Amino acid sequence: MRLRLTAMGALPALIASLLVLLPAPPATAEPAAPAPGFHISGQKLLDANGNPFVMRGTSHPHVWYQGETGSYAEIAGLGANTVRVVLGSGQRWGPSPAADVANVISLCKANRLVCVLEAHDTTGYGEDAAAATLDQAVTYWNSIRDVLIGQEAFVLINIGNEPIGNTNPGQWTTATANAVQRMRTLGFEHTLVVDAPNWGQDWSNTMRDNAQTVWNADGQRNTLFSVHMYQVYGTAATITSYFDAFAKAGLPLIVGEFGHEHQGQNVDEDTIMAEAQTRGIGWVAWSYSGNTEPYLDQTVAFNPAQLTPWGQRVFTGPNGVSETSRCATVFTGCGPGGTAPAAPTGLAVTGATSSSVSLSWTGSAAATQYQVHRAAGACTAQSAFSQVASTAGLTFTNTGLAANTSYCYRVTASNAAGTSAPSGTVTGTTTGGGDPGNGCSVVPTVQSRWDSGYVVQPVAVTNTRTSAISGWRVTFTLPAGHTIAGSWNASLSGTSGTITATNVPHNGNLPVGGKTSFGFQVNKPSGNSQSPSGFSCTAS
């Protein structure tokens, strides 16, 4: 992922050129023997058992959030079969040490996730002066060679993320071919993933038009091409024509990154996902959490129970992970065929507080995960659900809810063969209301987080009295070393320790049940993952 797409003045003509298909490729010899792990057959990626494997997953920003190792189980719990792991090769981030990478691989394997390991330092080479070369990336892979050799059935190596920017994208062909050849010379037999230039988007068609050269450079014929689809791919025509070009060339392609928007411009994610499903093309959506662009976060603060709208689209939407993901058959319990579990039964509300609803249900035979879905309001035939959690257990407590409010729930069950129909529905209603002493409730959300800070937004304030209020005051405590960097829609006292936020003139008057919100940004010590606590609200 990269935040820039420059040279936009020439973009319309270049996008139009995407509609031109490649000529049919010349016949090329197949390798003498298949690779010992993942390998390519035609346009298909096959696992070590020779079964087709179609990636469905997300990226994890590991090099920047090394403490978030619980994310691998969470990503698997959401149904993904693949995780693309961001590593550093030492020029800009890291280097990610061998022991760390070995631990990541073990976590992937324990959770039946295929690991796509990528070196991120190459991002935008030729345009970004700090970027590493592909040759430097290969040197990094060789430095951790001992933990990679022997993992060919579980690990793919994405040599370098978005390795060329928009300056001289034509250098991509030679640089990529040389990197592939050097990896083979060093003894790597993994499926190698190569990203396109133009910050991954290939609007110059350099990868599209020269993929055959790179393919021919790999004596093992085990290279997988990866395009990153952001604002260049805002229409169905540009997406389908790019897919058509690789289909005509007979070369394997994945969408190694994509979003639903980028830099204020639309991305046609519906066509990307639908066409990928029809054609058997793998995809890895960007990204699980921690973005500098919060609209691309799939979860709030690495919490799988708080899927963002983008996360809901990726994991539970049409042609998303829940509908289309199947795990690699190299993992125990994953095989071709099989039967999806039956729908869970006996869904019931077992308790409620002013901010939570607790559920239980009867499990389904052969289920390995359960997905909890929630809709606003009491259950009706028109209830619109989104997934709020995934768990291996038979209970779940949904926290952070508004007081005196009804929610509708249902549960599905899944295993390697698929996902069940939904259970029956049940309405859960939080307690509260009346005229409690404080007169208002507060629910904070950590919207995004990075190594040196985070944003809390929205901090939702609700009038819980039986009459209107004319003002409110929220108090909370920052962890030691955390300081306020800025705020909006509230006046904050102090910058550290216990903070008091009071309404501003335009959002103090709230009718019965009325809601408003404010937000703030915090600076924090590197590596510290704590969040503010002790939120309370008092109305006036």
Give the separation between CA 283 and CA 255, rounded to whole angstroms: 5
- Give the contacts of 418 (CB within 8 A, at least 6 positions apart): 326, 338, 339, 340
Residue 501 host element (H or E): strand 498-502
Q: How far is CA 235 from the centre of its chain?
A: 22
Contact 434, 466 (CB under 8 A): yes
Q: Phi, psi at residue 226, to the nearest 5°? A: -130, 120
Q: Are 375 and 395 in contact (CB under 8 A)?
A: no
Describe the crossing of helices 134-143 and 172-185 by its angle, rounded to 10 degrees. 20
Phi, psi of 510 (to 5 degrees): -125, 130
**Distance from C-alpha of 411 to C-alpha of 421, rounded to nearest angstrom:** 9
Written as six digits, the tokens of 55 are 């990636």
d(CA 91, CA 89): 6
68 labelled catalytic? no
> Element (H or E) spanning 242, and its range?
helix 236-249
118 carries an active-site annotation: no
- CA 61 from centre of chain: 9
Q: Residues 68, 118, 127, 162: which is the catalytic one?
A: 162
- Whether the Cβ atoms of residue 495 and residue 483 lie closer than 8 Å to each other: yes
Spatial separation of the C-alpha atoms in residues 166 and 203, rounded to whole Å: 9
Please give the backbone phi and psi of residue 228, each rounded to the nearest 5 degrees, phi first. Answer: -105, 120
Both tokens of 308, joined, read 């963002």
Catalytic residue, chosen from 74, 118, 127, 257, is 257
**Which is it for the CA torsion 221, 18, 203, 58, positive or negative?**
negative
Rounded CA separation 140/90 (Å): 8
DSSP string of 361-405, one letter each residue: EE--TT--EEEEEEEESS--TT---EEEEEESSSEEEE-SPPTT-
Residues serving a catalytic function are 162, 257
